[in-house]
Amino acid sequence: MANFNLKINGKTHTVDVEDDTPLLWVLRDHLGLLGTKFSCGIAQCGACTVHLNGNSTFSCVTPVSSVGNSEVVTIEGLSEDGDHPVQKAWAEVDVAQCGYCQAGQIMNAAAFLNENSNPTMEEIDNAMNRNICRCGTYHKIREAVALAAKSN
Amino acid sequence: MSTLTKSSRRDFLKIAGTSAGGLFIGFNWFSCDSPKVEVLSTEEILSQAKSFNSYLSISPTGDVVIYSPNPELGQNIKTSFPMVVAEELEADWEKVRVVQANLDPAKYDRQLTGGSGAMPHSWERLRKAGATAKFVLVAAAAKTWNVPASEIKVEKGIISHAGSGKKGHFGEFVSEASTMTAPEEVTLKDKKDFKIIGTPVKNVDFKEMYTGKPIYGLDFYREGMLHAMIQRAPFGMKIKSVDDSAARGVTGVKDVITFGTSVAVVGTSTWPLMKAKKLIRIEYEPEGAVENSTDHDRIFKELLATGKAEVKRENGDVAAAFKNAAQVVSAEYQCPFLAHSPMEPENFFAHVQGDKAELIGPTQTPDRARQETATLLGIPPENVTVEITRLGGGFGRRLRADYVVEAVEVSRAMNAPVKVTWSREDELTGGAYRPAVRYRFEAALDATGNMVGYKLRGVGMNAGNCTRENNFPAGAVENVLIESIEHKSTITTNAWRAPITNFLAYAEQSFLDEVALAAKKDPVQFRLELLQKAKNSPVGGELGYDVDRMIGVVKTAAEKSNWGKNPDVKQGFSVYFSHRSYVAQVADIVMEGGSPVLKKVTAVTDCGMVVNPTGANHQVRGGIVDGMGHAMYGNLTFENGVPKQKNFDSYRLIRMKEVPDIDVHYVDSGFDPTGLGEPALPPTGGAIANAIFAATGRRLRSQPFIEQKEFSDIKLEIRRG
């Protein structure tokens, strides 16, 4: 066990956990930040996506010991009131079915649009291909990312 | 104003009137320049509200709370049920709050999610719940104003009387109305007057979902709760010995307990348990058949040849029809096992205290969870409470209560509140799968290409009946024999979205394509001729489907897809009736660089009246994507009772880049609404396989498509057009 000081959503949190504990479980079990979801645990589905220094990151395979001084942003910290352009586009398009993967989808889309504010549909498809939606809301996700890009 | 809470949100708007000192507030996310105002929480509304019936409470502030009893797993029932209640109530949707009801058999019938049955079951009940509440509110207003109830109008939560100019909102009449007896019978609205039903209404949980609120079962935490993860035995095996010494040495592990064929590691957080679980040394021994996928292939062939079949339907003289046939077509179709793989792995919270148990989590069958818990603990079912969280998908997996009962086992053993969490590996290897099945079809054609004989013989696993004997083309063929053979497998199997028909439809619709080709008929025309026969002179008793409705979707799909009009687009047709709804689909394939590329699927659905177009489109598109993904990639194979595919790196699910355009249409047949969670899935595989044949001359009779030898030399792709 060791103490880690983590910068998450603009605040510093101290946790006492094993070095190999994935950031996902630090967020969920130790900090009560439950918006970041567990699904595959092996960086295949993207439900656990957070931002590390602005980059889309699979928190399920990110050991807490590797986070260091990186700025972590989770779905809870993406915007103060849920009004990030991507969240607004998701609401406007009414993307979700079960909704479980959507926080990860939103985080991935937000990081992607930050890098590429005027993407082609093909670029959207490529970027969002790392997140699985078992309900098959892909058409709506594509539409919402395009809308967020347009409205930003 | 003491009950109002201060909100930090900056974009509430529409302060809509005050009476009992309350504010009426609608919520709009996108109006960021509105002033800060205050809003009542749902709990505060409920603390003042009067209950009108199981579905509905209204507060003196005019806020309406509608309870949604059925588990929500993405089928959008939590939005569509309240829409129906609100419609008949004439409520203002902006003032409706929706609350997930807990399990309450005294208040609700059929509080489960399965079989696409919720809407047809509850349609009348929900309408009556809204209409009877409106009736007593109007009666209360009539009494208060001393005017005839027949002269009162209700619109968007406002009750008015034109003659006297009197007007008030629901809340003003709540006290009076809630003391009145609701009528047994009440007049329901004419469908043409619907204002909410038929309009695109947003998912009621959208804010929670898009801001990461803890609304799923896996998000449930309670102070002092223990976590547990479980190693389950291979199918057909039992535990011989357990060495848990290494697992117990992991920091954070409190205990390791064995029950039945399972070993649970229990601790204070999840990650140590994931590590500890891998360190348990368990020796197993067979207690039944330990099966491999190669065994299944052999069993299917043996049983198809010599197995004892149950005759499900027999019309005419089948032997004579085949003996006298000008041409006989036959083919066999087989599919693999599939896992449900909902994005939220199985999990449940249980707290056993003496002769009581508290259960919280994602379940499609809360009453089954309660009953099985009561049986395990030997306590009355009334002593078990079930709180239903939002479900991160289900697809049939959460119809079972195995993962609930094991949480109860661990809670009892630890004498503590416990949440059991499954890993993805647990989910894929400890499933209750869509079982493999094999079908043999035979068709007898006369000299003019009419199908005069039809035989289907299927071997299922734990399926009971692996056929749907009263479904099309039954009724359309003079001589029919449909037989089902059962193999009892030790591998646990269960309903998987559109049970049986998720593969039977593919096999049947592909086979009919083969028959149409042999008969030298256009596949659409061939089906329409059969349907016309079923309409004019139906063969043999009960038909499970409405011929006119099926003809309706077939014709509309041919029209909307420009069937056969573009020689560069190779098309496949499929139509299927399941779960009370009719769906026809056309798949469009274009050859690119020698490879068939699936570009588009056109779907035409008759589910009666569409309650929420957004939700309906979701279910149709989602069902097609699901059917397409599993037909293309889905494959779970067994070795010594354990699946070889243990996570999404080897068990492939469809992704963004592999989804074609999907064009969705509906036929308005004037019927009451039927469910849509399943019916769009069954036709998809057949439409795609038939289009692949049209494009390449290669007939796919097994799934998954990409692993078939027919595509060992060319690539099969799906891409947006």
What residue of B is the nearest CA neighbor of A132? B655
Closest residue in A to B10 (Cα–Cα): A81
Q: How far is B601 from chain A (nearest CA, A)?
A: 13
The model's pLDDT over B389-401, given as tens digits with 9 standing for 90+, comes to: 999 999 999 999 9
- What is the C-alpha to C-alpha distance for residues B571 and A151, in angstroms, rounded to an integer? 38
Alpha-carbon gap: B615 to the closest alpha carbon of chain A (Å): 8
Name the residue facing A97 among B275, B622, B659 (closest C-beta): B622
Beta strands in B579-649 (DSSP E): 581-592, 595-606, 638-639, 642-643
Nearest CA in chain B to A105: B210
C-beta separation of B678 from B497 below 8 A: yes
* A40–B200 CB contact, under 8 Å: no
Distance from CA of A10 to the nearest CA of B (A): 17
Read off the pLDDT of residues B86-100 as tens digits, 9 standing for 90 and up: 999 999 999 999 999
Best mutation target among A28, A62, A90, A135 (most B Cβ atoms within 10 Å) is: A135
The confidence score (pLDDT) of residue B217 equals 98
Mean pLDDT of B382-389: 98
Alpha-carbon span B51 to B41, nearest angstrom: 17
Find the CB nearest A1 among B251, B274, B423. Answer: B251
| A/B interface, count of CB pairs below 8 Å | 190
* A132/B653 CB distance under 8 A: yes
Percent of chain A with pLDDT over 70: 100
Q: Do A137 and B618 touch (CB under 8 A)?
A: yes
Residue A91: the pLDDT is 98
Q: Do A135 and B393 touch (CB under 8 A)?
A: yes
Determine, for residues A134 and B653 on separate chains, whether the beta-carbon distance falls below 8 Å: yes
Mean pLDDT of B695-704: 96
Say which of A41, A97, A142 has its CB closest to residue B423.
A41
* Chain-chain contact of A132 with B343 (C-beta, under 8 angstroms): yes
User: Taking Cα atoms as reference points, which of B478, B667, B672, B680 lies closest to residue B575?
Assistant: B680
Looking at residue B355, its amino acid is D
> What's residue B39's pLDDT?
79
- Report the gap between the CA of A69 and the closest CA in chain B (Å): 22
Cβ distance B343 to A101 less than 8 Å, yes or no, reads yes
B232-278 pLDDT, tens per residue?
A: 999 999 999 999 999 999 999 999 999 999 999 999 999 999 999 99
CB within 8 Å: A134 and B395:
yes
Question: A29 vs chain B: nearest CA distance in angstroms?
Answer: 6
pLDDT score of B503 more than 80: yes
Q: Which of A33, A106, A121 sits opposite B210 (nearest CB)?
A: A106
Give the Å distances, CA to CA, from A150 to B338, B379, B514, B665. Answer: 39, 59, 47, 28
Binary contact (A42, B648; C-beta < 8 A): yes
pLDDT surpassing 50 at residue B22: no
Per-residue pLDDT band for B21 (boundaries 50, 70, 90) equals very low
Higher pLDDT among residues B16 and B500, named by residue:
B500
Q: pLDDT tens digits, residue range B321-378?
A: 999 999 999 999 999 999 999 999 999 999 999 999 999 999 999 999 999 999 999 9
- Average pLDDT of chain B is 93
Q: Which residues of A touch B345 (CB under 8 A)?
A: 38-39
Mean pLDDT of chain A: 97
pLDDT tens readout for residues B665-683 = 999 999 999 999 999 999 9
A56: distance to nearest CA of chain B, Å? 16
Chain A residue with the nearest C-alpha to that of B425 = A40
What is the rounded average pLDDT of the residues B142-151?
Answer: 98
| C-beta of residue B34 within 8 angstroms of C-beta of residue B42 | no
Distance of CA B208 to the CA centre of its chain: 21
Instruction: State how far the Cα of A90 lies from the Cα of B212, in Å rounded to an integer.
Output: 13
Q: How many whole angstroms separate alpha carbon B625 and alpha carbon B629?
A: 6
- Give the model's pLDDT for residue B649: 98
| Cβ atoms of residues B437 and B456 within 8 Å | no
pLDDT at residue number B31: 36
Output DSSP code: residue B7.
-
| DSSP secondary structure letters along B290-332 | ---HHHHHHHHHHHHHHPPPEEEEEES-HHHHHHT-SEEEEEE
pLDDT computed for residue B721 by the predictor? 65
Q: DSSP assignment of B663-680, as one string?
A: EEEE---SPPP---SSTT
Give the minimum alpha-carbon distance from A75 to chain B in angstroms, rounded to a whole number. Answer: 6
Determine the residue of chain A that is closest to B269 in CA distance.
A29
pLDDT at B716: 87
Domains of chain B: 47-210 (3.30.365.10), 217-287+359-421 (3.90.1170), 308-337+433-718 (3.30.365.10)
Residues A135, B618: C-beta atoms closer than 8 Å: yes
Q: What is the ipTM of this complex?
A: 0.98
- The yes-or-no verdict on residue A110 having pLDDT over 90 is yes
CA Rg, chain A, in Å? 15
For residue B548, the model assigns a pLDDT of 97
Averaged pLDDT for residues B577-599: 96
CB spacing of B8 vs A81 below 8 angstroms: yes
Contacts of B720 in chain A (CB under 8 A): 121, 125
Cβ distance of B203 and A94 shorter than 8 Å: yes
Q: Nearest CA to CA, how far is A65 from chain B (Å)?
A: 14
- Chain A residues in contact with B216 (beta carbon < 8 A): 37, 100
Mutate to test the interface with A, among B225, B269, B343, B391 (most CBs of A within 10 A): B343
- Taking contacts as CB-CB distances below 8 angstroms, the residues of chain B near A22 are 271
Measured in angstroms, the CA of B621 and the nearest CA of chain A are apart by: 7
Does A142 sit within 8 Å of B74, measured CB to CB?
A: no
Say whether B210 and A141 touch across the interface (CB within 8 A): no
Predicted pLDDT of residue B712 = 87
Nearest to B622 among A32, A34, A136 (CB): A136
Above 60 in pLDDT, residue B124? yes
Is A34–B212 a contact, with Cβ atoms under 8 angstroms apart? yes
Residue B542 pLDDT > 90? no
Mean local confidence (pLDDT), B101-117:
94
**Section B615-619 average pLDDT:** 98
Cβ contacts of A81 on chain B, cutoff 8 Å: 8-11
Q: B583 phi and psi, to 5 degrees?
A: -135, 125
Q: Which of A44, A90, A92 sits opposite B648 (nearest CB)?
A: A44
Q: What is the pLDDT of residues A68-86, one digit of tens each?
A: 999 999 999 999 999 999 9
Cross-chain CB nearest to A74 (options B212, B343, B653): B212
User: What's the Cα-to-Cα distance from B666 to each of A121, B488, B498, rounded to whole Å?
Assistant: 27, 40, 20
pTM of the model: 0.94
Report DSSP state, residue A65: G
The pLDDT assigned to B479 comes to 98
Q: Which two tokens stand for residue B264?
A: 């649970």
pLDDT average, residue stretch B165-194 = 95
In this complex, the residue of B272, B625, B657 whose CB is nearest that of residue A136 is B625
How confident is the model over B631-639, as a mean pLDDT?
A: 97
Under the banding of pLDDT at 50, 70 and 90, the label for residue B720 is confident
Q: Which domains, ranges and CATH numbers included, belong to chain A? A: 2-77 (3.10.20.30), 85-151 (1.10.150.120)
Q: Which residues of B touch A19 (CB under 8 A)?
A: none
Q: What is the dihedral of CA B618, B623, B625, B626, to 10 degrees?
A: 130
- Report the residue of chain A nearest B620, measured CA to CA: A136
Confidence class for position B38, pLDDT limits 50, 70, 90:
low
